[in-house]
Amino acid sequence: MLDILEIQKLLPHRYPLLLVDRVTEMELGKSIVAYKNISISEPAFMGHFPGHPIYPGVMILEGLAQAGGILASKSSKLSKEELASKVIYFMSIDKAKFRAPVKPGDQLVYKVEVDRIKGAVIALITKAYVDDKLCAQAEMKAMMVDI
């Protein structure tokens, strides 16, 4: 549904912190499914952990947040010009849990649902999977603000 070039138009992140490779499903104002292919060449694996590479939980949360940012941007009623002067800041991450390790060669699937929208604040329920196995989850809140 969205490839990397379209994602880069929505997110300010770039390598090595752009953590969404593709969006495969999206229902505006409701949900998004996106993924990140995890490669041994990820910079995080140089130190996490040598000889036992595990993708850091904080990177999984950041990827979920980016998927949520894409959903919030696309769900807003703002024009492309108006969106160009905005950025989405995450306000909170609550109830984060890590259920299974993510390793090189895995495809991390981000599933994000809108819990509620109140003004400029969006509350999200986020989950990350590998092969349909839940790896991480969290509740997040974000706000779209002027740059």
Phi, psi at 72, each rounded to 5°: -65, -45
Question: Considering Cα of 93, then 81, then 8, then 131, what sign does the dihedral take?
Answer: positive
| Cβ pair 75, 86 in contact under 8 A | no
Helix, coil or strand: residue 71: helix
Q: What is the DSSP letter of 76?
A: S
**How does strand 133-146 pair with strand 121-130?**
antiparallel
Q: What distance in Å separates the CA atoms of residue 67 and residue 109, rounded to the nearest whole number? A: 10
Is residue 48 part of the annotated active site? The answer reads: yes
Write down the catalytic residue from 21, 22, 44, 48: 48
Residues annotated as part of the active site: 48
